[in-house]
Amino acid sequence: MFDSKNNLPATGYVRLPQIIGDRKRGIPGVLPIGRTTFLTGVKTGKYPKPVKLGARSVAWRVEDIRALLELIGAEA
């Protein structure tokens, strides 16, 4: 089930294209920033750390992304 406000599932994990979007595949993002900016923010601790799902696969907890969106909304 997806939240109609920001296209995030109610629980679980989301991949990077679901967070920042992917114009080529028509996936809308919930954060209006680029890939490099987001990954730099993860590295510096500004954005949540991913969870390793496999040897070459990472995702972010939906709860962490929702908390980030609330924090950014409070700052704006």
Domain span holding position 57: 2-75
pLDDT above 60 (res 21): yes
Ranges of beta strands (E only) in the chain are 2-3, 8-9, 13-14, 51-54, 57-61
- Per-residue confidence band for 4, with pLDDT thresholds at 50, 70 and 90: very low
Please name which of 39, 1, 41 lies closest in space to residue 17, comparing C-alpha atoms. 39
Q: What is the pLDDT of residues 60-75, one digit of tens each?
A: 999 999 999 999 886 6
**Domain count of the chain?**
1
Other C-beta atoms within 10 Å of 18: how many? 21
* pLDDT for the residue numbered 74: 65
The kind and range of the H/E element at 20 are helix 16-20
CB 27 within 8 A of CB 67: no
* pLDDT for the residue numbered 51: 97
Other C-beta atoms within 10 Å of 65: how many? 20
